[in-house]
Structure 1
């Protein structure tokens, strides 16, 4: 990350992970979960589901759907969010390969 000045306005270039930029713990996990929640919200809109319909389809209570759509996903595991997406008609593939560096990282790729 670095600072830049454009037209007299100073700003800092982000890392690509707003959670890490804010110094939050488990930033990578939060980035993955927020990406999954974003896709859930897109699927609900694309399918034109009410929150109640989405809840039935995903196997969770309607208030939980409401919370998800407001960004409250702290009590959802990545696995549960992926389960919700599969119930909304998404295929999920997990690819595991050796990392180029000593420590690997998680990436959410959306087609």
Structure 2
């Protein structure tokens, strides 16, 4: 089969910057928040140059569970637990609640200071 023919038949659709919503996930909002928290955990671990084993001990989880977390497998880990991990890494996490000015449901996001 000729490769250009295959490429002509592939449909490409531009996505947004919210991959979970693009995939139609019902828990898209929660997953994007968790992804932001995991990113910050990963950056904290990298900056401290910890091995996964040492980092897992510090966070109070197994090394395989930490490996899964860092590879994006975090469905079974709550946002509260991720915040606890950041606290154990020496990060303060502030939760700010404010009324939105739109006439739509509110949203949750991770903002890194």
| C-alpha RMSD of the superposition | 1.3
Which 4+ stretches in 1 moved above 4 angstroms? none
Determine helix, strand or coil for the equivalent of 2:26: coil
* Equivalent of 1:110 in 93, 105, 112: 112
Deviation at 1:70, TM superposition (A): 1.3
* Contact 2:36 2:110 (C-alpha < 8 Å) held by counterparts: yes
Q: What is the correspondence of 1:56-71 to structure 2 with a 5 Å cutoff?
A: 56-71=57-72
Q: Counterpart of 1:53?
A: 54
Name structure 1 gaps, 5 residues minimum.
1-9
- 1:19 is aligned to 20
Report how far residue 107 of structure 1 moved: 1.4
Whole-angstrom distance in 2 between the partners of 1:69 and 1:89: 18
Query: Which residue matches 2:31?
Result: 30
Which position in structure 1 is the counterpart of 2:43? 42
CA distance in 2, matches of 1:101, 1:26: 21
Greater share of strand residues, 1 or 2? 1
Aligned to 1:3: none
Work out the number of aligned pairs and report it. 101
Question: Higher helix fraction: Structure 1 or Structure 2?
Answer: 2
> Normalising to structure 2: TM-score of the pair?
0.83
Q: C-alpha distance in 2, partners of 1:80/1:69?
A: 14
